[in-house]
Chain A
């Protein structure tokens, strides 16, 4: 899985629970990961735009100060998330078995 694909997977996982704009997505990833998993945060936007172009997300402006582009996951996006999540765990568990040892 490429790094860009990983960012897309993280975005889909966050949006699965609620709609959010870019900054909120970054904060949620930070909260869940407990680390700087996304750094740099600007990388969210290429991934968000690509996901939207492929129909995995929808988005709309929400007026405010400043106005925000809020993203929502589509049915197609949920399908992709499920498939990618499965693939990720399979890969992660395989790598974990090879690495062994304890988490530091």
Chain B
């Protein structure tokens, strides 16, 4: 069956004896299944395929078909190398590398999901104007693209990817949250709306609305117009601890008076000053306010990326192992 043109192929599957007429096809098949099966299997597949093709060829020639046509018919009957490689890939499912590959993909989808959850968590804060909603959509897409980037550049060192993810998270968060925050007069960050509402309350107290409240928490809603916008106080957020008009202790209704005094008080002048904060101060305040949430997301993203890297490393190790075996042979 193997005639005069029989020769030994050079390269990694040199042991397979094939005829010249099928050499291009078998070379292509060898390339397609490289990395899909082990080197030993690859040699065996080439040898079996060669014998099968020769048998088909002999059958067509016996049917009085000319040699060139018989070669083409045999190749057609056998099937395209790419489809056979896909079949081998399909049949090898369930191996460790295959499971790792799927886990890797799942992790990257998890990164996309985490980013979407983070962006969605901003909507209650930023859902006011149409411009902000538009911005949110762009940022959502940015995060999705960023995550796809992680997927595409899987070969990059994991530390760089994680650091890039953190940087993107903080920068994008800062950009979207900065206009919404001012520095808290007693430390940390404070939402602009809350600062204005508090200011409204202070003004209201100053005007006598809160008079007589003394050390009790105020229940009256104070309204105040500032910078052309109307603000309304949220009385559940703070209480008065002093009879001084225009001065409030900060926030916690459940805190004792001593605790509130220890934390200090906020005056309307302090709040007016906070509302005049520059961009850097606002950026710092925004990130400070979101630090606990951001830390959780950073931890989540890092854990996902680390696991994805482990899975990716396993897949790459498997590929390298097969290539090394190919070179050795």
Measured CB to CB, the residues of A under 8 A from B are 4, 21-23, 26, 39-43, 45-47, 49-50, 65-69
- How many angstroms between the C-alpha atoms of A22 and B52 in the bound complex? 7
B262 within 8 A of A: no
Find out whether the CB atom of B2 lies under 8 angstroms from the CB atom of A23.
no
B133 within 8 A of A: no
Find out whether the CB atom of B79 lies under 8 angstroms from the CB atom of A49.
no
The one of B17, B49, B91 in contact with A47, judged by C-beta atoms closer than 8 angstroms, is: B91
9 shortest A-B CB distances, which residue pairs?
A40-B79, A46-B87, A42-B79, A50-B91, A42-B78, A23-B55, A46-B91, A46-B88, A66-B51
Interface residues on B, range: 20 to 34
The one of B44, B56, B77, B87 in contact with A69, judged by C-beta atoms closer than 8 angstroms, is: B44
16 contacts between A and B (CB under 8 A): A4-B90, A23-B51, A39-B77, A39-B79, A40-B78, A40-B83, A41-B78, A45-B48, A45-B49, A45-B84, A45-B88, A49-B88, A66-B51, A67-B47, A68-B48, A68-B51
A3 shortest CB reach to chain B, Å: 9
Scan residues 41-88 of chain B and give those whose CB is less than 8 A from a CB of chain A: 41, 44-45, 47-52, 54-56, 76-80, 83-84, 87-88
B1 within 8 A of A: yes
B259 shortest CB reach to chain A, Å: 68
Find out whether the CB atom of B91 lies under 8 angstroms from the CB atom of A41.
no
User: Which residues of chain A are within 8 angstroms of B44 by Cβ–Cβ distance?
Assistant: 69
User: Which residues of chain B are within 8 angstroms of A67 by Cβ–Cβ distance?
Assistant: 47, 51
B29 shortest CB reach to chain A, Å: 8
Measured CB to CB, the residues of B under 8 A from A are 1-2, 17, 37, 41, 44-45, 47-52, 54-56, 76-80, 83-84, 87-88, 90-92
Find out whether the CB atom of B84 lies under 8 angstroms from the CB atom of A26.
no
B314 shortest CB reach to chain A, Å: 20
| A46 in contact with B90 given A22-B52, A41-B56, A65-B1 (CB within 8 Å) | yes
- How many angstroms between the C-alpha atoms of A46 and B87 in the bound complex? 6
Find out whether the CB atom of B2 lies under 8 angstroms from the CB atom of A65.
yes
User: Which residues of chain A are within 8 angstroms of B55 by Cβ–Cβ distance?
Assistant: 23
Find out whether the CB atom of A43 lies under 8 angstroms from the CB atom of B84.
yes
Find out whether the CB atom of B45 lies under 8 angstroms from the CB atom of A45.
yes
- Which of A4, A22, A45, A49: most chain B Cβ within 10 A? A45
User: Which residues of chain A are within 8 angstroms of B76 by Cβ–Cβ distance?
Assistant: 40
Q: With contacts A43-B83, A45-B48 known, what are 11 further pairs, Cβ within 8 A?
A: A21-B48, A21-B51, A23-B52, A40-B83, A41-B79, A42-B49, A46-B84, A46-B91, A66-B50, A67-B47, A69-B47
User: Which residues of chain A are within 8 angstroms of B52 by Cβ–Cβ distance?
Assistant: 22-23, 26, 41-42, 45
**Which residue of chain A has the shortest Cβ distance to B18 in the bound complex?**
A66
- How many angstroms between the C-alpha atoms of A69 and B78 in the bound complex? 17
Find out whether the CB atom of B87 lies under 8 angstroms from the CB atom of A4.
yes
Find out whether the CB atom of B87 lies under 8 angstroms from the CB atom of A43.
yes
